[in-house]
Amino acid sequence: MILSFPVFYTTKFATLAGASSCTPGGSDVDVWYKYTANTNGQLLVNLVSDAGDSAIGQVGLSAFTADGLTELDCDLGEDANRIPGYTGQATGLVSMRAGETVLLRVSVPASQSGGAMGTGGMIAEFDSLLPNDTCRNATEIVLAGPGVQDTNYYSMHLAQNEGSTGFCYDAGDVEQRDVWFSFTAPVNGEATFESLQDGGVGLAGGLELYDVCGGSLFECNGGAEPVITRPMTAGETVKVRLLRSADLPNMLNQSVRLTLTGSGCGPADTNGDGQVTPADFTVWINAFNNNLPECDQNGDNVCTPTYFTAWINNYNTGC
């Protein structure tokens, strides 16, 4: 069924057509809907069962990709009150891109499908200012070469938490919320990521860098002014996760600042002046002696004497 909110559902004559983590008993029946986004943003669905709070832990609301194979979100009511003002028995949050379709599944225990628990409604809103609530829809940070780029993002008041918690930013018993960014280095260089608020002032929270969605954590930094600096090679991509505690005040203007130093001449251009000259060898020797990022000549983030030969080869290659 094409979804047009508000929508009223009934599972009285439903059967089981799928499975998800929102079917803990394995004997639920379900009804399905689909929604296609007109713009980038986040779909928030709030389910209200006619059975009231007795539906919590019983009636499930889950979201899937358009092919029905990948579950994007699932709630049995345990997070129903995570967003102020939304007090339904289940809440669904799905980050989407324009033209993307998701399937929504309402599941009810088979023994309850003909009663009040099997009927209810769903209301929704679409927040076009929060398209990057999940890693798969990370906002691209675009920088054509060395320089500085501020990428703004919207307040996290509707954000959910996707990924691990407590690596280096521990909010205690308070929920953490996150937004995601992606950056592909156009040249070899050093990328510095900062979390900022109005006026370029550091914004408390956590920063994490991953190689891919669900992949390895490169580095994390949490505190009043989180900053991460990482050497990158041309074509390398990182995923940037920004976390904040749910009890921190929302800021109207927030950004991730990327400062990229380097050049298009390859790793032999150790002084970053856009050309390869014997002066770069002096910089490389200093980098080797002090284990600095410029010592690395093949992108494996280590520094060994073998990189002398690698620097010579890169020098001969030139720009």
The alpha carbon dihedral of 23, 25, 27, 28 has a sign of negative
All domains of the chain in start order, with CATH: 7-127 (2.60.120), 135-263 (2.60.120.380), 279-317 (no CATH)
* Distance, CA of 218 to CA of 230 (rounded, Å): 9
- Tell me what pLDDT residue 92 has: 80
- Tell me what pLDDT residue 85 has: 55
* Distance, CA of 120 to CA of 7 (rounded, Å): 9
- Tell me what pLDDT residue 288 has: 93
Look at the block and give the residue holding tokens 């927040």.
Answer: 127
pTM above 0.75, yes or no: no
Burial degree of 314 (CB within 10 A; 0-12, 13-18, 19+)? buried
- Tell me what pLDDT residue 80 has: 45
| Segments in the chain below pLDDT 70 | 1-5, 24-26, 78-88, 155, 157-158, 163-167, 171-172, 247-252, 263-264, 319
* Distance, CA of 218 to CA of 233 (rounded, Å): 15
- Please report, as a single letter, which amino acid is at residue 181: F
- Tell me what pLDDT residue 197 has: 83
- Tell me what pLDDT residue 3 has: 54
* Distance, CA of 140 to CA of 180 (rounded, Å): 9
